[in-house]
Amino acid sequence: MRRERRKNIRVEWHSPGKIYDCDGALLSRCVIKDFSNGGAKVTGVAVGRIPEKFILRIARGAIGMRKCHVLWRSATTLGVEFADSLPRARQRGSVRAEAEASRQIHA
């Protein structure tokens, strides 16, 4: 059995998103397949055109925009780590708080 090496619990998300360069120019639309407090799996992109560092806009929920850097690439998928940190209040509640915030926004 493979040992889990992630520091944060990942949640399947399947949400539309957008990738911007560090100057704010839109590079690509994407799908955030899963995410955690520490990073995300991004699919549906031409990975060769995405720079090592970029800004990810998560369309659904209260998560917003996150600075990212690429940890790994496959043909159509990126594994990214968030290069910025969440405010303390959002870290405490973790994924559960994000889900609750999303429900409140869409209510």
Residues 2-59: tens digit of each pLDDT: 555 656 777 888 889 999 999 999 999 999 999 888 999 999 999 999 999 999 998 7
**By the 8 A CB rule, do 33 and 43 touch?**
yes
Residues 72-81: tens digit of each pLDDT: 999 999 999 9
Residue 42 located in a structural domain: yes
Token code pair at residue 51 = 């720079």
**By the 8 A CB rule, do 75 and 47 touch?**
yes
Residue 30 located in a structural domain: yes
**DSSP bridge pairs for 32:** 15, 42
Residue 101 located in a structural domain: yes
Helix (H) or strand (E) holding 90: helix 88-106
Q: Specify the higher pLDDT residue, 61 or 28.
A: 28
Look up the pTM and report it: 0.70
Distance CA 19, CA 31 (A): 10
Mean pLDDT of 102-107: 40
Residue 61 maps to which CATH number? Answer: 2.40.10.220
Residues 81-93: tens digit of each pLDDT: 999 876 544 444 4
